Amino acid sequence: MKIPPVKGTRDFYPPDMARRNWLTDGWKKISLRNGFEEYDGPIFEYLKMFQVKSGDEIAEQLFSLTDRGGRELAIRPEITPTLARMVNQQINSLPKPIKWFSVPRLCRAERPQKGRLREFFQWNIDIIGSDDLLADAEVIFCTIDYLQNIGLTPKDIVVKISSRKMLAAVLQTIGVEKKELDPLYALLDKQSKLPQDTFEKLLAEKVADKTQYKKILELMTVKSIEQIKTLTEQNKTAKESVDELERVFELLNVMGVADFCSFDISIIRGLAYYTGTVFEIYDKASQLRAIGGGGRYDNLLKDFGGPAISAVGMGMGDCVLAILLEEKGILPEQLPQPKSDYFIAYANQKYLQKAVEITAKLRLAGFITNFNYKFSNIGKQLKQASNQNAAKCVIVGDEFEKNELVVKNMSTGEQKLIDYDKFISDIGTKSK
């Protein structure tokens, strides 16, 4: 019986696994150098956990199960609720700000399409317990640090940044009621995906007041923060939020990553819990869906039964990123060759035993070492050695009668006779 792989999942054959590791190792390396510590949680949680901040529609896109004790569980579709739970549990003993990162494997029962699968990996970084704009800037910097590190430039990607707080304040000065904000966000967020006339039509349906409608439309065309200052009569919150956003850009400039960043009023993010800075990373051509995104959220911990502590975070999935890197020719280049240190060849079946012994000694000393189970001629064994990218090949042959081995450097082709005892005593230990 042939059982196919499950829809929306991937098999990672060794070359794929090498790429995946290259990607996730990069996430980890950059997180650490930006001062984040790694955490992880269980791959499943109570179903309820994922229903707290989102409705039933999202619950339909969960892989859920009932365990034998009747508990309703779900495989995690995101790690933020777990993070909130973990932080809440130890909130009083953790030094602030908490800077944590994770690379969880997540599952969502959505229909797969380009850049979206049912199982994927997502890099998450969060700074909890600081409302300083430095935290906002640091999260964005860390994100760019990674993207830049793997070879992407401002020609390839752009981080579009805006502020929920500012948008809310400005919309309110225009006259939009607070309770109308969320449904309006949903529409404004789609502006870039819709043809302009469709967008205008939908907006007109949503906003009955003609003056309001015009002002919103005008607001959504602004290209700089400067324009917003002059666009509306200022109220205190609006002014404050504009200053804050400018401060974030100033910090990003100081950090030397301003080339990657641009203000974009249409960045709102679907999620209701964002309260301040919001940002999304896109490929420059905007051909792909967002590579990642994040922002400041003030109520998340509280929603999970903790204190009202401000936080800012970012999430980036592996699917879209991999597509972009593939297109840019970065991923294939980076594919690490499986590399071994030694290949032990034997010229005659009677030396097999010795070859096994040498292999074991080298392995115990930390060297990646291989040999062939089945005897074949030296040419074949050398071919195998080069296929395995062995740095050196040791040949156990008739020289061994004189207590000698042939050690061949596989890249130069150079080979020499080495006394067996000397070879063994010189093995040393490979630094790990």
The residues that touch RNA, with contacts defined as CB under 7 A, are 4-8, 50, 54, 57-58, 61-62, 77-78, 80, 108, 110-116, 186, 190, 193, 269-271, 289, 293, 315, 347-348, 376-380, 382-383, 385-387, 395, 397-399, 406, 408, 410-413, 415
- 132, two tokens: 């300083």
Tell the smallest beta-carbon distance from residue 401 to RNA (Å): 8
Check if the beta carbon of residue 157 is closer than 8 Å to that of residue 147: yes
**CB closer to RNA out of 398 and 419:** 398
**CB closer to RNA out of 153 and 353:** 353
Check if the beta carbon of residue 295 is closer than 8 Å to that of residue 160: no
**CB closer to RNA out of 6 and 208:** 6
**CB closer to RNA out of 149 and 377:** 377
Tell the smallest beta-carbon distance from residue 250 to RNA (Å): 27
Apex CA 296: angle with CA 32 and CA 280, to 5°? 80
- Give every CB contact of residue 58 below 8 A, 6+ residues apart in sequence: 50, 51, 77
**CB closer to RNA out of 108 and 215:** 108
Q: Looking at the DSSP assignment, which residues form a beta bridge with residue 66?
A: 72
Check if the beta carbon of residue 313 is closer than 8 Å to that of residue 124: yes
**CB closer to RNA out of 134 and 407:** 407
Per DSSP, which regions of 34-110 are E strands?
37-38, 44-46, 64-66, 72-75, 98-102, 105-107
Per DSSP, which regions of 206-338 are E strands?
261-263, 274-283, 292-297, 311-317
Tell the smallest beta-carbon distance from residue 3 to RNA (Å): 11
Nearest-angstrom CA–CA distance, 272 and 183: 10
Q: Looking at the DSSP assignment, which residues form a beta bridge with residue 395?
A: 345, 406
Q: Give me the sign of the Cα torsion angle 64, 295, 321, 29.
A: negative
**CB closer to RNA out of 7 and 33:** 7
Rounded (10°) CA dihedral 351, 354, 355, 357: 160
Tell the smallest beta-carbon distance from residue 415 to RNA (Å): 6
Nearest-angstrom CA–CA distance, 32 and 243: 30
Residue 372 CB-density burial (10 A; 0-12 exposed, 13-18 middle, 19+ buried): middle
Check if the beta carbon of residue 268 is closer than 8 Å to that of residue 162: yes
Tell the smallest beta-carbon distance from residue 239 to RNA (Å): 28
Tell the smallest beta-carbon distance from residue 143 to RNA (Å): 14
What spatial distance separates the first Cα and last Cα of the chain, rounded to whole Å?
Answer: 44
Tell the smallest beta-carbon distance from residue 232 to RNA (Å): 27
Tell the smallest beta-carbon distance from residue 243 to RNA (Å): 27
Report the SS3 class of residue 269.
Answer: coil
Tell the smallest beta-carbon distance from residue 164 to RNA (Å): 12
Tell the smallest beta-carbon distance from residue 282 to RNA (Å): 12
Report the SS3 class of residue 137.
Answer: helix
**CB closer to RNA out of 225 and 406:** 406
**CB closer to RNA out of 271 and 368:** 271
- Whose tokens are 């999304």? That residue is 280
**CB closer to RNA out of 236 and 373:** 373
Length of the chain counted residue by residue: 432
Q: Give me the sign of the Cα torsion angle 221, 226, 232, 238.
A: positive
